Amino acid sequence: MTNPLKYAVRRFALRKFRSEVAQSIIPLDSVKCAAVFVDGGLPGADAAETAVRSFFGSRGIAVLLLRPDGKQLNYAGYMRRKFRLPEGGRHEDLFISLSDNPENFASEFEARCSPARFKAGRIQLSGGIFDMIVSPPGDERADQAAVFGAISEYLLKIK
């Protein structure tokens, strides 16, 4: 159970920073910048980070990798401003969350507050934040690199 003060701070932050950008599925050709949330606490985080950099780098798409550790999170549980905002702000067209933990507030915050027009993830959050959900069949667990591989295959098929 979350501390009531922390819960209130989280709700306030989500209201203050939430994105108002209209979302839809867009082709990879329209993506100039992507932001990818990698959960450092899950297995395969390093492999996922390498796969993300390779995939977007080979296509000339700028990528912002969000992989928070304990020092980068504030009291409410989302990333501090200096770690999540590059110089000049965030202008991504695509946001991908590789976290499958519904209790990971940093992932939820980034998904809800990202200015991306197209959002993909592993689990749907309340309010239908993601345009595309990719998860392994049944109760299987897949590492983040495998899920990113599946997402990238779908991204290549969207025209």
> pLDDT tens digits for 53-74?
999 999 999 999 999 887 888 8
Q: What are phi and psi of 112, to 5 degrees?
A: -75, -30
Element (H, E) at 107: helix 105-113
Mean pLDDT of the chain: 89
Residue 140 and residue 100: Cα distance in Å, rounded?
Answer: 12
For helices 45-58 and 144-157, angle between their N-to-C axes, nearest 10 degrees:
20
Say how many residues make up the chain: 159
Q: What is the pTM of this model?
A: 0.91
SS3 call for 79: strand
Q: Of 105, 96, 121, whose CA–CA distance to 68 is shortest? A: 105
Cα four-point dihedral sign 21, 69, 98, 158 = positive
CB 42 within 8 A of CB 71: no
- What's the pLDDT band for 1 if we cut at 50, 70, 90? low
Residue with tokens 């345009």: 131
40 contact partners, CB below 8 Å, separation of at least 6: 67, 68, 69
SS3 call for 62: strand
Q: What is the pLDDT of residues 72-131, one digit of tens each?
A: 888 888 888 878 777 767 789 999 999 988 888 999 999 999 999 999 999 999 888 999
Residue 159 and residue 25: Cα distance in Å, rounded?
Answer: 10
